């Protein structure tokens, strides 16, 4: 089939495929979140672990400490119900429950629940008798281990980065258990456990660690993992540990040497880290409304009159990328995988680090995004220049191509041959415009992931009304820019940036070679306005990137259009001189080879 306009059909098909693939890749998140939300199950309140599941009953604290229907307590009442040791560091506030030695009260004062300055800080841990219960715990399993209700004694009232706290308790068996707890200036606790055996016979016990929460964390996006997570045997376990799978298929069990496991949300992580030389049995499970990730190490023997120690760690805080990377380098294997970079991690992480550098340099995240856009465009300038040069030349030869189509009418094959001859003569590559588009897709998606998951970008302002570039543009004419107390649905809440994005896409099309095929004309004419609605629910930072990218493209197109101006009067079909292809010559008969003897006539017989 010959082209019906001034571009190859293959080009249009590729462009349409790329655009549609991008819409599917990014758009499914919005469509699924808005129209097919996952309903969190109603937590089941229970007083004990389900019968017949020894893994749940084996660990102290594994069964939710909830006393039955109607027994949910307010947080203040739950905190006052047991003695506590305060936690006071620049980035962590809260307390440790001395009943059971649980980490069950933790807030992150550096982060607010919303971008309102009066918003309360983010809470990560809450006592087990509260509606949003989440806690972590370390201890020992065995017949002579202290019970889950044991009350520990602290050697000081407050845990700080400079002052560790030692908890101790004496079991009915006479064994003395201690936990020396220290915390760094960020989010990492170190728990050194010891057992002293004053008895006359050895004792065998197993160290354990767990992270447990009541109910499901809300998944704000479909392609960001929320729930149980771990790295076991140097392999990330996330997609196969969804909340639904644990409810429907039961506990998921693994073995590993070292590693870590826990529960994650988009920005926050609670991870229990055993001794990296210890062999552990890891279990992810659901029981009575409670989700839990726990590990149980091999048994150790405490000799009579002897002492045994083991060391574990607890990460509880924000998934700050640089901090997570430092902890990974310090010996927590692949902790950086807790950040859901997805398929394009190899691009997304460099994009993040460049954005983070620009943000620290400029002090404004919106300016950093503009700087990133300009850097990406500068890197791609040679390729983009070829694209716009090719497009400008296509504008020049467009009238000639149209004239060829008119001249040859139904002779599709001949028209195609002549158009290809023009491409060759004018040195025009109709596929040149596809490469920049293809290269932009992973960059665009990497920026999308960076804005979506990185805690560093959360609640970052730009200018004026753009107070959070990780959220959609809030200013929309549909409610008269906030004068009407009505918030339209996200898919039609066109902010200022999505409108500018649509307008700049429309201007780009006006500067590009016109489409001759009526169907393609309609598709491409609608695309800017469809994308305007399509991009409305996305982060304002992403909208800003695309708009600035469009403006740079418009500038390059204007330059190339001046460099290669279109003819004032297009030629008609009559002046197109296309010589017919010469007929193929008949093959000559094969003659004698050079140097061969001439044939002689045979003699007549007499």
pLDDT of 7? 42
* CB-based contact 401:513 (threshold 8 Å): no
pLDDT of 435? 62
Lowest mean pLDDT among 97-101, 260-264, 288-292, 560-564: 560-564
* CB-based contact 7:392 (threshold 8 Å): no
Residues 6+ apart with CB under 8 A from 261: 211, 228, 229, 230, 231, 232, 237, 271, 272, 282, 284, 293, 294, 295
In terms of DSSP bridges, do strands 290-297 and 203-214 run parallel, antiparallel, or are they unpaired? Answer: antiparallel
* CB-based contact 62:287 (threshold 8 Å): yes
375 pLDDT more than 80: yes
Domain 60-340 has CATH 2.60.120.260: no
Which pair of structure tokens corresponds to residue 469? 């570039």
> How confident is the model over 477-536, as pLDDT tens digits?
777 766 676 677 766 778 888 889 889 988 888 876 665 566 666 777 788 888 888 888
Report how far residue 339's alpha carbon sits from residue 322's, in angstroms, rounded to the nearest whole number.
11
> How confident is the model over 540-553, as pLDDT tens digits?
888 898 899 889 88
Q: 3-class SS at 581? A: coil
Which pair of structure tokens corresponds to residue 185? 């200036």
Residues making up the chain, counted from first to last: 606
Which pair of structure tokens corresponds to residue 61? 């604290």
In 153-169, which positions are buried (b, 16+ CB within 10 angstroms) versus exposed (e)?
Answer: ebeeeebbeeebbbbbb
58 pLDDT more than 80: no
Report how far residue 134's alpha carbon sits from residue 290's, in angstroms, rounded to the nearest whole number.
9
* CB-based contact 266:225 (threshold 8 Å): no
573 pLDDT more than 50: no
pLDDT of 159? 97
Report how far residue 446's alpha carbon sits from residue 397's, in angstroms, rounded to the nearest whole number.
37
What's the first-to-final CA gap in the chain, in angstroms? 71
Rounded to 5°, the CA angle 545-322-451 comes to: 25
263 DSSP 8-state letter:
E
pLDDT of 585? 54
> How confident is the model over 7-51, as pLDDT tens digits?
444 444 444 444 544 554 445 444 444 433 333 333 332 223 333
pLDDT of 38? 38
Rounded to 5°, the CA angle 479-480-486 comes to: 20
Distance (Å) of CA 28 to CA 33, 36, 230, 331, 483? 8, 10, 27, 37, 32
* CB-based contact 308:404 (threshold 8 Å): no
Helix-, strand-, coil-residue percentages of the chain, each rounded to 5: 35, 20, 40
Domain ranges of the chain: 9-25+352-575, 60-340
């Amino acid at each position: 089939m010959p082209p019906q306009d001034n571009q190859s059909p293959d080009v249009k098909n590729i462009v349409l495929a790329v655009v549609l693939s991008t819409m599917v890749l990014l758009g499914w998140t919005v469509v699924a979140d808005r129209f097919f939300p996952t309903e969190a199950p109603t937590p089941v309140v229970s007083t004990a672990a389900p019968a017949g599941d020894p893994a749940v009953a084996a660990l102290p604290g594994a069964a939710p400490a909830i006393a039955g229907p109607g027994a949910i307590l307010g947080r203040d009442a739950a905190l006052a119900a047991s003695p506590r040791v305060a936690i006071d560091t620049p980035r962590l506030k809260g307390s440790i429950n001395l009943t059971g030695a649980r980490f069950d009260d933790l807030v992150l004062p550096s982060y607010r629940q919303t971008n309102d300055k009066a918003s309360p800080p983010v809470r990560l841990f809450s006592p087990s008798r509260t509606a949003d219960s989440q806690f972590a715990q370390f201890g020992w399993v065995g017949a002579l281990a202290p019970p889950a209700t044991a009350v520990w004694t602290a050697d000081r009232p407050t845990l700080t980065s400079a002052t560790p706290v030692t908890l101790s308790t004496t079991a009915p068996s006479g064994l003395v258990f201690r936990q020396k707890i220290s915390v760094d200036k960020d989010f990492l606790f170190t728990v050194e456990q010891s057992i002293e055996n004053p008895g006359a016979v050895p004792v065998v016990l197993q160290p354990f660690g767990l992270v447990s929460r009541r109910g499901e964390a809300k998944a704000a996006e479909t392609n960001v993992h929320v729930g149980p997570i771990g790295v076991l045997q140097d392999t990330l376990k996330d997609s196969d540990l969804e909340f639904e799978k644990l409810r429907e298929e039961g506990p998921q069990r693994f073995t590993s040497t070292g590693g870590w496991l826990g529960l994650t949300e988009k920005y926050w992580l609670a991870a229990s880290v055993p001794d990296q030389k210890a062999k552990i049995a890891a279990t992810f499970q659901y029981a009575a409304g409670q989700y839990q990730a726990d590990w149980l190490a091999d048994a150790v023997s405490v000799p009579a009159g002897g002492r045994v120690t083991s060391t574990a760690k607890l990460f509880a805080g924000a998934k700050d990328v640089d901090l997570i990377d430092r902890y990974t380098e310090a010996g927590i294997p692949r902790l950086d995988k807790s950040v859901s970079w997805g398929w394009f991690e190899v691009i997304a992480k460099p994009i993040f680090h460049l954005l983070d550098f620009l943000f620290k340099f400029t002090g404004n995240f919106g300016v950093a995004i503009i700087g990133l856009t300009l850097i990406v465009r500068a890197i791609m300038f040679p390729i983009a220049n070829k694209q716009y040069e090719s497009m400008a030349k296509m504008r020049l030869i467009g009238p000639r191509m149209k004239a060829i189509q008119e001249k040859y009418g139904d002779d599709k094959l001949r028209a195609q041959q002549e158009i290809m001859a023009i491409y060759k003569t004018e040195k025009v590559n109709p596929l040149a415009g596809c490469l920049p588009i293809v290269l932009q897709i992973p960059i665009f998606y990497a920026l999308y992931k960076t804005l979506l998951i990185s805690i560093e970008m959360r609640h970052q302002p730009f200018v004026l009304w753009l107070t959070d570039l990780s959220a959609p543009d809030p200013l929309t004419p549909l409610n008269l820019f906030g004068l009407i107390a009505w918030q339209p649905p996200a898919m039609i809440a066109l902010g200022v940036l999505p409108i500018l994005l649509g307008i700049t896409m429309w201007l780009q099309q006006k500067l590009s070679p016109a489409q001759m095929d009526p169907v393609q004309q309609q598709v491409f004419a609608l695309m800017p306005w469809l994308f305007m609605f399509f991009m409305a629910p996305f982060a304002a930072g992403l909208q800003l990137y695309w708009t600035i990218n469009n403006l740079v493209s418009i500038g390059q197109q204007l330059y190339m259009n001046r460099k290669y101006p279109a003819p004032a009067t297009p030629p008609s079909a009559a002046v197109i001189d296309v010589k017919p292809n010469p007929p193929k010559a008949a093959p000559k008969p094969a003659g004698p080879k050079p140097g061969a003897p001439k044939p002689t006539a045979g003699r007549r017989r007499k």
